[in-house]
């Protein structure tokens, strides 16, 4: 699917937010500048968070409260090994989270996840939804 501009990305995020099951683990993949943090911002907005969303590059984890539970936003880019996330207590977030969004997530580390792969195409982006393991497919987006 082609996301031609910010508004089409916002519309996609709204549809994805409606389709995500409670507690979904979503891996946001793509090169630097592909729009991973922008997509998180629009997802958080669609799920009811009205504050500022920034990349947790140095803090590793941000939480955004929503009416249906917190969004947990993780940036795994700087981790030497993504399994370090588990040593940071990732499992503690999972039961309460509305969803967990992992930038630079690896499906081999998170086998039951939905991968949202963003690929820049000039000023636009293509997006692919790739369910892994037991993660449900999300048709019709």
pLDDT of residue 96: 82
Domain assignment present for 10: no
Instruction: Determine phi and psi for 67, rounding to 5 degrees.
Output: -60, -25
Q: Residue 69 domain-assigned?
A: yes
The dihedral sign for the CA sequence 64, 65, 66, 68: positive
Evaluate the CA torsion angle 23, 28, 33, 39 in order and state its sign: negative
Q: Is residue 45 part of a domain?
A: yes
CATH number at residue 80: 3.40.50.300
The answer to whether the predicted template modeling score (pTM) of the entire model surpasses 0.85 is yes
- Is the residue at 121 inside a domain? no
Within a domain: 55 = yes
The answer to whether the beta carbons of residues 11 and 74 sit under 8 Å apart is no
- Nearest-CA neighbor of 105 among 126, 82, 89, 127? 82
**CB of 76 closer than 8 Å to CB of 105:** yes
pLDDT of the chain, 141 residues: tens digit per residue: 999 999 999 999 999 999 999 989 999 999 999 999 999 999 999 999 999 999 888 778 899 999 989 999 998 887 766 667 667 767 777 778 899 999 998 888 888 899 999 999 988 999 999 999 988 888 776
127, 28 in Cβ contact below 8 A? no
Classified as helix, coil or strand, 43 is: helix
In a domain, 53, yes or no: yes
Q: Kindly state whether residue 93 falls inside one of the protein's structural domains.
A: yes
Give 122: exposed, middle or buried? Use CB within 10 Å, 0-12, 13-18, 19+: exposed
Residue-range definition of the domain harbouring residue 27: 22-106
Query: How many domains does the structure of the chain reveal?
Result: 1
> Which of 11, 9, 46, 45 minimizes the C-alpha distance to 30?
9
pLDDT for res 83 = 66
The Cα–Cα gap between 141 and 129 comes to 9
């Amino acid at each position: 699917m082609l996301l031609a501009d910010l508004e089409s990305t916002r519309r996609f995020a709204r549809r994805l937010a409606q389709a995500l099951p409670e507690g979904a683990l979503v891996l946001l993949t793509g090169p630097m500048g592909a729009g991973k943090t922008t997509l998180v911002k629009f997802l958080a907005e669609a799920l009811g968070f009205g504050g500022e969303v920034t990349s947790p590059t140095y803090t590793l984890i941000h939480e955004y409260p929503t009416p249906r539970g917190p969004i947990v936003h993780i940036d795994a880019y700087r981790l030497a090994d993504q399994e370090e996330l588990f040593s940071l207590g990732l499992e503690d977030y999972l039961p309460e989270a509305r969803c967990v969004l992992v930038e630079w997530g690896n499906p081999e580390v998170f086998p039951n996840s939905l991968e949202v792969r963003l690929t820049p195409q000039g000023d636009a982006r293509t997006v692919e939804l790739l369910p892994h393991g037991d993660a449900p497919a999300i048709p019709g987006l």
